[in-house]
Structure 1
């Protein structure tokens, strides 16, 4: 976990308590030493967090502290709410769904009362589809591999049912209404390939970083897609 993420997590622990929390408890929750906790408390205080308390007494966060980057307009908040609700209901990835809910909880905890009420009572909803894309237990491993630029062993069945095992370099995943699509460089075919998530039998992270950076793969993939389908605009072109 990065230090920035750890500081945000520490703020969340403090916000959840009304009474002073012993430093040892906070350190245990964060998985850090007491000395590191004291440094983190000092850093948050320097950033304007109103944390009261001392070693041996405990710490409590006074209400009213708002992180400046989380000041959004009403339109921006509605976009965040809608996006988070879509991920929670449509992504077919339980870990990603929990992360989306965590984002909304964090935003709600730092907003002024009026804006928080608007988020909590937003009238923008994402209905569940009658035929939802089934969850796949390996989706978190896939996202982690994309993030870490790791090669994967992929067990796959094509449209005809033929099974193959191949080593791929995943660099993107598209969330279509009817399916999830994995974009990767395939060592077996020595080219870019797209794999339907519902045809993946299993995958395993090799733990080894593939020899090319993800942004370079995406650049080459975009050039390949334009050459093969000049009329097609990819999602990456709009980002």
Structure 2
């Protein structure tokens, strides 16, 4: 790997990581020595890249830093194409159009030799064989999540029973045949998932809920991890 490419990849590694990254981890990914990583980090800092490091912990890249050119590798282009194909096939119409626009923008800005990866991709995400239905405006749901706003809705369960709910939405799950809205349910006083095709009606409220969406997502993730651990322990005990 050329040194310029390696420096760029170090920035990419730090930019995509949520926590500190050790020199050992970067050396392993880039297939080079730890000493080379130390030297490259020093060069990047000398070029005013806002990299901070602490012995035994790792390096972090301060927020707000970006590289001027758009430099995508062939693998990154194919990853974007595959992801966009999936969204076009399975997401709601607004996101599907956004994915098509994304592919058009990528095709415009990437070098000529990479354009066949977008125009004639060698990878394909299978199309959903059945159109997905939603009982509410998914674009409005995403806006409610970003704004931390409540949703009042009427929901029909698998036994065809209807109930009125006020939820604090914080995530949407896109699956093969269904979409799930995840939120804190005021009626149940707990986290709940709702199939969007079972929503009978919805009203998007201007009222903010008291928690940040990121906090709710973190709590929900811990609960799912604990449930998974308990399930695996129960299976091991059988």
Specify the TM-score bucket, using the shorter chain as the normaliser: 0.5 to 0.7
Shift of 1:156: 0.5
**Distance between the aligned counterparts of 2:155 and 2:134, measured in 1?**
17
Structure 2: runs of 5+ lacking an equivalent: 1-66, 233-238
Q: TM-score, normalised by structure 1?
A: 0.64
1:218 equivalent in structure 2: 217
Note if 1:77 corresponds to 2:52.
Answer: no
**Distance between the aligned counterparts of 2:177 and 2:140, measured in 1?**
21
- Tell me if the contact between 1:150 and 1:170 (Cα under 8 Å) persists in the aligned partners: yes
**Distance between the aligned counterparts of 1:145 and 1:178, measured in 2?**
23
Structure 1 counterpart SS, 2:115: helix
Q: TM-score, normalised by structure 2?
A: 0.64
Shift of 1:123: 2.1
2:226 equivalent in structure 1: 227
**Distance between the aligned counterparts of 2:220 and 2:155, measured in 1?**
21
2:116 equivalent in structure 1: 117
User: What is the CA deviation profile of residues 94-138 of structure 1, one whole-angstrom value per residue up to 9, with x for unaligned ones?
Assistant: 100011011111111111211123321212223323323235551
Structure 1: runs of 5+ lacking an equivalent: 1-66, 234-239
- Tell me if the contact between 1:226 and 1:232 (Cα under 8 Å) persists in the aligned partners: no
1:158 equivalent in structure 2: 157
1:146 equivalent in structure 2: 145
Out of 78-87 and 133-142, give the one that drifted further. Answer: 133-142
**Distance between the aligned counterparts of 1:201 and 1:104, measured in 2?**
34
1:89 equivalent in structure 2: 89
1:209 equivalent in structure 2: 208
Paired residues for 1:57-72 under 5 Å? 68=68, 70-72=70-72
- Tell me if the contact between 1:151 and 1:207 (Cα under 8 Å) persists in the aligned partners: yes
User: What is the CA deviation profile of residues 179-201 of structure 1, one whole-angstrom value per residue up to 9, with x for unaligned ones?
Assistant: 11111000111111111111111
- Tell me if the contact between 2:136 and 2:199 (Cα under 8 Å) persists in the aligned partners: no
User: What is the CA deviation profile of residues 144-190 of structure 1, one whole-angstrom value per residue up to 9, with x for unaligned ones?
Assistant: 11121111112100111111111100001111113111110001111
- Tell me if the contact between 2:88 and 2:95 (Cα under 8 Å) persists in the aligned partners: yes
Structure 2 counterpart SS, 1:141: helix
- Tell me if the contact between 1:90 and 1:133 (Cα under 8 Å) persists in the aligned partners: yes
